[in-house]
């Protein structure tokens, strides 16, 4: 492999790195989680830990195999992360649809994708081919802008020192905050040695389209058909569930809403509006019309309307709600977990979607303590009140 002058190469080339790491480098350290997982699963399949299969409908599934690698070697950290993803999503079953592995099921998926990329990056870093860093030249750009800003302040100070003093505080504050921008732009990137190794690898005819990412020949391996719709992530608003022992998709439902109109609070609101309306109608009927026939009708109109609303609308709604059970319990499966940061103005939300066997899952807002005890694919015992529209309890 040719080496560019002035760039120090590691003591070995890409051919001695694990294929998933090579694919990670060839992708510029920014492969999608799906692509990272496929490369890792192929290595696990070679070790007999997982198997690629298709179900009766032709959908790709990943089945669990042996408990330990057939070669006896220890698994690399990135392989352990991929295997943990399969075992976690398979849960109580021995197989899991490939689509379920790459579908966004909330925080569990995001944590796995982040950890998978970090482990591949760490392996590439040990080879000297990748590093977690901000974009090249970002420090030079920021320092140049700060220097220009300070130079402008100096010039303004010579012309009008009062205006310069007024602007100095905000400008220096922005300049100080700009120094932290690169920290938020750090991600895995190729080092100069990595750029050289990848370029040389491609010049040698590897890593071109249709050549299995430039990894070792694929002869003797099972063909993994992962380009069809059955291997794609689920569309937004849907999730995978294995409740009942069969994999199926469910729609993500809406959160429970507490009733208002059919409660005593709704009745109180109606009475309050009737009282305020009656106050003005009595004044109009008495002062303006001396409580003649029309005055009396105006005076009693709000109270009469409120009585009709209560009898025709509120009472039937209240009676119908009270017929609902105050507590019902079912066993379901967690299909998605999502933490929503409310910021400084709103409370945080810890959202859980549970498959109860219906086409649409149920959505609950739980406490942080309960949230940390749950995991996607786990069974939970749910107690909730259809009458009050709220969650009573949820336990794994």
User: What would the pLDDT profile of 355-367 be if each residue is shown by its tens digit?
Assistant: 999 999 999 999 9
Give the HSE-up count for residue 204: Cα atoms under 13 Å, Cβ half-sphere: 15
- The pTM of the full predicted model, rounded to 2 decimals, is 0.76
With b meaning 16 or more CB within 10 Å and e meaning fewer, what string describes 237-273?
ebbbbbbeeebebbebbeebeebeebbeebbeebeee
Reported as a single tens digit per residue, the pLDDT across 29-63 is 888 899 899 989 999 998 999 999 888 888 899 99
To which residue do tokens 């007024």 refer?
166
Average pLDDT, the chain: 84
What are residue 329's phi and psi, to 5 degrees? -125, 140
Give the number of residues written for the chain: 396
Of the pLDDT bands very low, low, confident and very high (cuts 50, 70, 90), residue 216 is very low
Residue with tokens 């320092």: 143
Dist CA 117 CA 81 (whole Å): 10
Average pLDDT rounded to a whole number, residues 215-233:
67
The top-scoring range by mean pLDDT among 12-26, 160-174, 325-339 is: 325-339
* pLDDT bracket for residue 15 (50, 70, 90): confident
Measured CA to CA in angstroms, residue 120 lies from 39, 51, 78, 112, 162 at distances of: 11, 22, 6, 12, 55
Please provide residue 353's backbone torsions phi and psi, each rounded to the nearest 5 degrees.
-105, 130
Q: Mind listing the pLDDT tens digit for each residue in 230-275?
A: 888 999 999 999 998 899 999 998 888 888 888 888 888 888 888 8
Q: Say what the alpha-carbon torsion angle 60, 66, 72, 75 is, to the nearest 10 degrees.
A: 50
Query: Percentage of residues in the chain with pLDDT exceeding 90?
Result: 33
* pLDDT reported for residue 165: 76
Give the Å distances, CA to CA, from 215 to 17, 52, 143: 10, 19, 42
Collapse the DSSP code of 363 into the 3-class scheme (helix H, G, I; strand E, B; otherwise coil) and give the result. Answer: strand
pLDDT score for 321: 86
pLDDT in tens, 270-315: 888 888 888 888 787 776 666 677 777 777 888 888 888 888 888 9
Q: How would residue 213 be classed by pLDDT, with cut points 50, 70 and 90?
A: very low
């Amino acid at each position: 492999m040719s080496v560019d002058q002035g760039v120090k190469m590691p003591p070995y080339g890409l051919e001695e790195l694990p294929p998933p790491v090579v694919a990670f480098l060839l992708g510029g350290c920014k492969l999608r989680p799906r692509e990272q997982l496929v490369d890792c699963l192929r290595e696990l399949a070679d070790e007999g830990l997982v198997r690629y299969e298709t179900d009766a409908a032709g959908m790709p599934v990943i089945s669990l195999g042996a408990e330990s690698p057939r070669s006896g070697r220890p698994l690399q950290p990135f392989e352990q992360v991929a295997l943990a993803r399969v075992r976690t999503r398979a849960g109580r079953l021995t197989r899991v649809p490939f689509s379920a592995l790459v579908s966004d099921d909330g925080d569990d998926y995001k944590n796995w994708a982040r950890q998978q990329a970090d482990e591949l990056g760490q392996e590439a870093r040990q080879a000297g081919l990748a590093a977690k860093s901000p974009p090249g030249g970002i420090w030079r750009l920021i320092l140049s802008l700060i220097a220009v800003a300070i130079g402008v302040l100096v010039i303004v100070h010579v012309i009008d020192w009062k205006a310069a003093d007024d602007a100095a505080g905000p400008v220096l504050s922005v300049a100080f905050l700009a120094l932290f921008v690169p920290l938020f732009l750090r991600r895995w990137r190729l080092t100069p040695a990595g750029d050289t190794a990848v370029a040389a690898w491609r010049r040698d005819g590897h890593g071109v389209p249709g050549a299995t990412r430039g990894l070792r020949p694929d002869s003797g391996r099972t063909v993994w058909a992962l380009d069809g719709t059955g291997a794609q992530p689920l569309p937004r608003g849907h999730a995978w569930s294995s409740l009942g022992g069969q994999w199926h998709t469910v729609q993500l439902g809406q959160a429970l809403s507490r009733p208002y109109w059919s409660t005593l609070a709704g009745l109180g609101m109606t009475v309050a509006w009737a009282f305020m309306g009656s106050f003005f109608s009595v004044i109009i009927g008495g002062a303006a019309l001396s409580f003649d026939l029309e005055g009396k009708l105006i005076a009693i109109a709000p109270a009469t309307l409120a009585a009709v609303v209560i009898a025709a609308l509120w009472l039937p709604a209240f009676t119908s709600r009270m017929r609902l059970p105050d507590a019902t319990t079912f066993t379901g499966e967690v299909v998605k977990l999502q933490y929503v940061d409310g910021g400084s103005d709103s409370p945080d939300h810890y959202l859980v979607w549970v498959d109860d066997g219906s086409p649409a899952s149920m959505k609950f807002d739980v406490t942080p303590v309960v949230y940390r005890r749950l995991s996607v694919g786990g069974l939970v015992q749910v107690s909730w009140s259809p009458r009050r529209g709220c969650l009573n309890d949820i336990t794994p």
